[in-house]
Structure 1
Amino acid sequence: MFDFVRQHTKIMMGLLFLLIIPSFVFFGLEGYTRMNEGGHVVARVAGSEIKQIEWDNAHRNEVQRMLAQSPNLDPRLLDSPEAKYATLERLVRDRVLAAAADDAKLVTTDGRLARALQEDPAIASLRKPDGSLDVERYRLLVGAQGMTPEMFEANARRQISTRQVMAGVGESAIGVAAAADATFGAFLQRREVQVAQFAASDFSAGLKPTEAELEAWYKDHVAQFQAPEQAKIEYVVLDLDAVKKNTVVNEDDLKTFYEQNNAQLAGKEERRASHILVNASRNAPAEERAKAKARAEQLLAEVRKNPAGFADVARKNSEDSGSAASGGDLDFMARSAIDKPIADAIFGLSKKGDISDVVESDFGYHVIQLTDIRAPKVPSFAEMRTQLEADLKSQQAQRQFAETAEAFTNTVYEQSDSLKPVADKLKLQIRTATVSPVPPAGATGPLANARLLEAVFSSDATQQKRNTEAVETGTNQLVSARVVEYSPARTQALAEVHEQVKARWTAQRAAELAKQKGEAQLAEWKTQGEKAKLPAAVTIARDDTHQFPAKLIDAALRADPAALPALLGVDLGDQGYAVVRVDKIAPSRPLPAEAAEQVRQQYAQTWGAAETMAYYNLLKERLKVRMDVAAPAGTPAQ
């Protein structure tokens, strides 16, 4: 089928043209639009309908967002019924909160919106040195999310309003200290117990299974010995490093680059200055500020008459306790490290010894003298050549990547029976590996990418041995693979897994013997009552387990306090069996003050979350929310 399409591209395009155009003639563009407007209703909120297409679009956007954040995430996990239903619940929640905000007349003012946007780290990073917003970068930021600035701000305004609906409930919740202490006191309760353990490992040494027993066990557990499908592959990776290796930088371009950037390469100029400060808070009365300014003007006139005596005047009159003792010296500073009004004054002076006019800042009024200039050293071309070449190669590789990526994509498709043509054309290395459809836990890199593995194990790749399409496995990274050898999933023969079968049979049989021994001992001790001799008592708690298994701790702490002392058996699975005598509840250990406060805060947060959910469910009831799609089995109720 794919061969025919490749060999008859023009014929296929013509056929599709003949099929599509008449359909527009007969049904019209509006007919196609109507087909996409509808879909059946999947939920209702306050009489407003949510249709299938809105749900599909919302889930597709959610999947794209999550894959952009985590490229190695398996898309199949996001395509599950549970994941889709979670998207529908979020849609319903947004509608409920929006309707509640409208009913409560919750409006976000322009000032509130501006404060919220200023607090957003992504937007704060777009500030220019003078504090103004870089509008062009702001447009690019919101444009990457498929929105105009107006759409982005309207969405932010809506989110702020809807957050107010729930904030009042969650933030007003009160976690009573006594209730928190009682709740966590029960959770951290201590009990005195006597424990006899029957470890499975104690019963395994003498076990010698026959071949018949192993074969029977293997047949009963054959599902445990499935070998996953595997593929030996060749693959090529196109990334910025690969493009950079093939980039040759012209010597003249390097010299031009150096001349254009030598000012930045030299670093920042630093200046040293001294100042005299007359304190006057920005919020001080106008009369007080005027008086401070007049005092600064007097000091300015004094130092201009005798510039050499600036340090003496500063020591006697400056109200800056940090620099007055040193004659007002501020040491060397870069422009970016100083408040803007003072920086403008210092870097506006032309030569050493110059004195500024009176400068106003948030701290008061300053008289400033420039005392030294430290000009940055410009490194020579020879000193910078290696770094310049690396920087210029990186810039050129960034510009060339899109063009190279197109050549890569086209070549692996058009010459799909081998990766050698694309490797030769773009000077890429052909690598080899053995992969399975699901990467090992913790795997990283392109071969852990779910979309690439899905392409590798497609029928076109495994059966026809064709190159996969070019798959984007990361930022500026494309990969194509070709299956060299394919092994379908199969059941491993007993001979292949004989040692594994023996080990598992032994572990299971040892656990069974440990359980039998433990149950027999439990029955005997129950008949002996208080005369039963168990190991010495210890005190356990959830935060002091004495290294006992979690199942044992849980069983001991769940024993009915009214029925103590109690004797009980605990099946520890592969670890064996335990008999536990729970004697009594031990005195509690008081929590340190800091830990107790953390417990109370956690309790208050949990209580607030519960009240918030209860209020949300009440809103759903008031707004007559109806889900017309059944929740997948196992989905927790909201």
Structure 2
Amino acid sequence: MLDFFRNHQRLMMFMLVLVILPGLGFVGIQGFRGFFDESANVASVNGHKITRADFDSRMRQQLDQARQMLGAQFDPKIIDTPDHRKDILDGLIDQRVVADETQRLHLTASDDAVRRAEMSSGIVASAKNPDGSIDLDRYKQTLAMMGMTPEQFDESMRYSLSLQQLQGSIVSSAFTPKSLAQNLTDLAEQQREVQGLAFHPADYASKVQPTDAQLQAFYDAHKSDFATPATAQIQYLVLSPATLAAGVTPSDADLQKYYNDNIAHYRTEGEVRASHILIAVPKDASPADREKAKQKADQLDAEVKAHPDQFAKIAQDNSQDPGSASKGGDLGYFGPGMIAGGKAFDDAVFAMKKDEISNVIQSDFGYHIVKVTDVKPAVTKPFADVKDSIAKDLKTQLATKSYTDDADGFTSLVYEKSKSLQPAADKYKLQVQTATVTPAPNSALPPDSPLNNAKFLAAVFADDSLKQHNNIQAVDLGNNALISARVTDYKPSAVPALDAVKDAVRQKYVAEQSAELARKDGAAQLAALEKSKATTGFSSAVKVSRNNAQGVPPAALSAIFKADGGKLPAYVGVDLGSDGYAIYRVNSVLPAAPADPQRLAAAQQQIASVEAQSQAEAYVEALRARSKVKYYGSLGSAQGDSN
């Protein structure tokens, strides 16, 4: 099909004109553009669009997480399925309906809650110095790498805390009766004394002596098991910021301009280290209570002014800030806006000198008396110290910009010059690489190798690529990377002659037949034991529980606990597949030992957590049911509205 398009481009352009121009007469230019704009969205919730970029970002995030967890066993086809893609979209829709409900209920988070959450976040932790102070320059750079400013981080954290309030209210109200926790704990820890009798396939292998006719019949019935995979020798190009970076060299003038334009990134704002005494005043305090608190603050202010060397002790005895009182009021190092005292607090503190004690400062939290114990002036790193770092950052930025500028051109060029990748390699200064690939990912390659991308491999082994040896259309690998390839040689999947794989055929035949003999022998023995109730041949007795299997296979453990405990001894047989067959004799049922209060409380909490999660999911389902949800069909899902 693609080859037909390439060879009849003028005809195809004429046909497109015939199709498109009349359409414009019906819907108008603006309507036509609006029709195609929907391709950028996958769904909408109450009018809020969920963009394909949002979906692709979440999809890449899950693929990256799976890749990190599974390593060499990672197979993107396990994650990138229609069902899983729909699950991801449903998750984005659920997130949106919760956000809408949060907004409807006017839920928000206080400045103090935002500050506490930020201080416990990994971002702030990574920017802390050994003395506990925060390196503001490093903090801003970390946020910049994530595409955020400190202000955007504040709002992101506030938004996250607001969303948590809905689920938090449901979780906090979940309750599980102690009796239910006790019953489930008893079931989990109930023990059964069992003895095992195994029938291993290896013990039956010598009884399997296949004839040539049997091997031929087995081979004929299982030819696909012995087939060699199809292989394609390819040339390929990868366009990404990394491959384009080699051709990007910023000049000294570019580096100096970048430094001047981003001087704030290399400036460490001034910090102070201070201790304070807080006399707290609730927001709903009466005028009389406020006056009483002010008098107390004035009294302490006079006391520390008279005895400045006693500030820490006075703070420890009198400050009503639980976070700092035990440390003599020490707040550590901080910059403007990092202490939730407001503008009046910052204006007073950052105007003070070392060892100076403030007058009483009023904030939203009450009255403060502050002693500045150290002052760090603002420092700007000189250009020479950060030149190498700027060169690296700027090179990455320019390469990323080049990728953005070149992606469409690369895609068009490998399509138009379909018989060679060299024009694209020459234009974008890329290296043509070679490889041999199969339709399935190669476990010997890194999981994130572009040669293991499922869409790429599908394109390589498409008819147009294999028969016409045309360049495949550029495949988006995600994370700003495109790949195109051209097949130079192809070997289809082939089934070797029986003589070439006879040993493998024999081995597989013997294994299957040995397992079958073990199963038959085991089933016959089980029937005899159920009549005789014999104990001979069994292993020593062991006590197993659902929490402690003692090496018993999961399938066997399930069968053991399904046996009727009121009719003992009981015999159960379990087909273990290629591992053969096993019989277990259940001798007795031992009740669980009384659970200690701590374990019972933990079990009760776990069950409550499961119940809370179920209630939270039901709540989200209810929100979704009353929301206007529209699918655009971008993921292959049914189009339509849901109310």
Give the TM-score of the pair, scaled to structure 2: 0.68
TM-aligned CA deviation for residue 473 of structure 1: 0.9
CA distance in 1, matches of 2:113, 2:334: 30
Which residue of structure 2 aligns with residue 404 of structure 1? 406
Aligned counterpart, 1:311: 308
Alignment partner of 2:419: what SS? Answer: coil
What is the aligned partner in structure 1 of residue 584 from structure 2?
Answer: 580
Paired amino acid for 2:432: I
Asked whether the equivalents of residues 280 and 289 of structure 1 are also in contact (C-alpha less than 8 Å), the reply is no
3-state SS of 1:271 partner? strand
- Which residue number in structure 2 is paired with residue 281 of structure 1? 281
Contact 2:274 2:373 in 1 (8 A): yes
| Displacement after TM superposition at 1:387 (Å) | 1.2
1:102-123 deviations in Å (ceiling 9; x for gaps): xxxxx969672343899999xx
AA aligned to 1:476 is: N
Shift of residue 294, structure 1, vs aligned partner: 5.3
Letter paired with 2:401: R
1:113 corresponding residue in structure 2: 106
- After superposition, the Cα gap between the structure-2 partners of 1:606 and 1:326, relative to the gap in structure 1 and judged at 3 Å, is closer
| Greater mean alpha carbon deviation, residues 415-424 or residues 556-565 | 556-565
Whole-Å Cα distance in 1 between the matches of residues 188 and 418 of structure 2? 63
The alignment status of 1:195 with 2:196, answered yes or no, reads: yes
SS in 2 for 1:463: helix
| Corresponding residue number in structure 1 for 2:346 | 343
Question: C-alpha separation between the residues in 1 aligned to 2:252 and 2:238?
Answer: 29
Distance 1:518 1:198 in 2: 6
Pick aligned residue for 1:70 from 29, 53, 59? 59
Structure 1 Cα separation of the partners of residues 359 and 324 of structure 2: 19
2-structure distance, mates of 1:610, 1:366: 46
SS of structure 2 residue aligned to 1:70: helix
- For residue 539 of structure 1, what is the aligned residue in structure 2? 543
Give the direction of change, closer, same or farther, for the CA distance of 1:17–1:578 in structure 2 (3 Å limit). Answer: closer
Map of 2:16 onto structure 1: 16
- 398-407 vs 437-446, greater mean Cα deviation: 437-446
Distance 1:500 1:273, change over 3 A: same
Matches within 5 A, 1:204-243: 204=205, 209-243=210-244
SS of the counterpart of 2:477? strand
Q: Extract unaligned runs of 5+ from structure 1.
A: 38-52, 102-106, 130-136, 142-152, 621-631, 633-638
1:388 aligned partner, one-letter code: I
Whether 1:360 and 2:357 are equivalent positions in the alignment is no
Tell me which structure has the larger Cα radius of gyration: 1
Normalising by structure 1, we get a TM-score of 0.69
Counterpart code for 1:498: K
Which whole-Å CA distance do the structure 2 matches of 1:520 and 1:484 have between them?
59
Alignment CA distance shift 1:600-1:549 (3 Å): same
Larger displacement relative to structure 2 (255-264 or 385-394): 255-264
Write out per-residue CA displacement over residues 459-500 of structure 1, whole angstroms, 9 at most, x where no aligned residue.
222221111222221122111122222333444443444333
Deviation of residue 202 (structure 1)? Answer: 2.6
Contact 1:222 1:491 in 2 (8 A): yes
Deviation digits for residues 501-558 of structure 1 (CA, Å, limit 9, x no counterpart): 2222221232233334434544555564457564433322233323123333233322
**2:456 paired with 1:452:** yes
Query: What SS does the aligned partner of 1:233 have?
Result: strand
Aligned to 2:478: 474
The structure 1 residue matched to 2:426, chosen from 424, 427, 442, is 424
Aligned match of 1:44: none
Q: Check 1:317–1:232 CA distance in 2 against 1; reply closer, same or farther (3 A cut).
A: same
Gaps of 5+ in 2: 64-75, 119-135, 137-143, 149-158, 625-636, 638-643
Alignment check: 8 A CA contact 2:241 2:402 kept: no
1:200 deviates by 1.6
Deviation at 1:362, TM superposition (A): 4.8
Task: Measure the CA separation in 2 of the matches of 1:202 and 1:301.
Answer: 93
Alpha-carbon displacement from aligned partner over 1:48-86 (angstroms, at most 9, x marks no partner): xxxxx9xx9789979876544224554996447x987x8
In the superposition, relative to structure 1, how do residues 548 and 377 fare at CA in structure 2: closer, same or farther (>3 Å)?
A: same
Percent identity, aligned pairs only, is 34
Shift of 1:267: 2.4
2:71 aligned residue? none
The alpha-carbon distance between structure 1 residues 605 and 494, as it changes in their structure 2 partners (threshold 3 A), is: farther
- Whole-Å Cα distance in 1 between the matches of residues 272 and 79 of structure 2? 60
Q: Structure 1: how far apart are the matches of 2:568 and 2:10?
A: 86
Contact 1:310-1:327 within 8 A present in 2 as well: no
Secondary structure in 1 matching 2:193: strand
CA distance in 2, matches of 1:203, 1:234: 51
CA RMSD, Structure 1 to Structure 2 (Å): 5.3
